Amino acid sequence: MAALPNHPPLGLQRAVRLDAFTTWKVGGEAQWFGEPATGAELWALVRWAQLQKLPLHCIGAGSNLLIADGGLGGLTLCHRRLQGSQLDGSSGLVEAEAGEPIPTLARKAARAGLSGLEWAVGIPGTVGGAVVMNAGAQGGCTAEWLHSVTLLNPLQPEKPIELLAAELAFGYRQSLLQQEPWIVLSARFQLESGHDPAAITERTSANLHSRTSSQPYQQPSCGSVFRNPEPHKAGQLIEALGLKGRQVGGAQISPMHANFIVNSGGATAADIEALIAEVQDQVQLAHGMRLHTEVRRLGD
């Protein structure tokens, strides 16, 4: 690896613990860590990593993410400071930076009388993460409302890429971006304009109440752990096996919702992995089907 410059770019940090940057509150150290606040800072950090021949890892709000206890080599970029959005109340077109919290965007849209993101208010992630994972809830999902996305290719960071939603091969919690190294810079949504802001806000708030009253939002978790094997619900399959409250180390299947694994205190990524594997084995033994995770894993 080339020698590090005497003045590392843009607040670059070394050996930063990543448990503070995930909603599960687990994860080892990042070899190098950067938290850009502008597109220019992001570009410079990506270019630096390219020159140093370092692998890149990108995180947003750290939800739906399990980082290994051994941490991550290379450069880890956190996008949560890349926030901002523009909403056109007449056309319904909404543009948001990758780090914009998706619940914040949902509330802004509601206040502008724009319908389409009411489902997103309870998702503890960013716009970029929602696009990559095709996040969804309450019967809605990102792919339904996404118009296009601007991406950065780490191999050619000076040439942003713009793709339409139809080019992203969306599926249930799936997109082309999970297989490509591209980094989301911003996203555009086409929402429905002309609605009563009070009515949209009320529906948005009702969706949030529904989620927070039935899911363990007061404890560290990643959200739903397993994809629903339609027409079944993962949480119902797990609950039917009497696994609510089952614990491995500090990782526990939530007594409130069986498709949530919470950090009840001092959990490690290894604890969570062991509990995930136990659930998968028991569901397969009882029901003959393998549950697949929604969780994105980083590190070995």
Catalytic residues, which ones? 173, 224, 294
Residue 15 main-chain phi, psi, to 5 deg: 55, 55
Residues 6 or more apart whose Cβ sits within 8 Å of residue 168: 131, 143, 146, 149, 175, 176, 177
Q: By the 8 A CB rule, do 42 and 60 touch?
A: no
- State the Cα–Cα distance between residues 278 and 252, nearest whole angstrom: 12
Is the Cβ–Cβ distance between 78 and 129 less than 8 Å?
Answer: no
* CA distance from start to end of the chain: 21
Angle between helices 197-214 and 102-111 (to 10 degrees): 150
For 88-154, the DSSP string reads -TTT-EEEEETTSBHHHHHHHHHHTT-BS-GGGGG--SBHHHHHHHT-EETTEEHHHHEEEEEEEET
Q: How many helices (H) and strands (E) does the chain have?
A: 7, 16
Cα 87 to Cα 117: distance, rounded to the nearest angstrom: 13
Written as six digits, the tokens of 204 are 């948005």
Tokens encoding 87: 């909403």
Closest CA to 33 of 57, 13, 60: 13
Per the listing, tokens 């980083």 go with 298
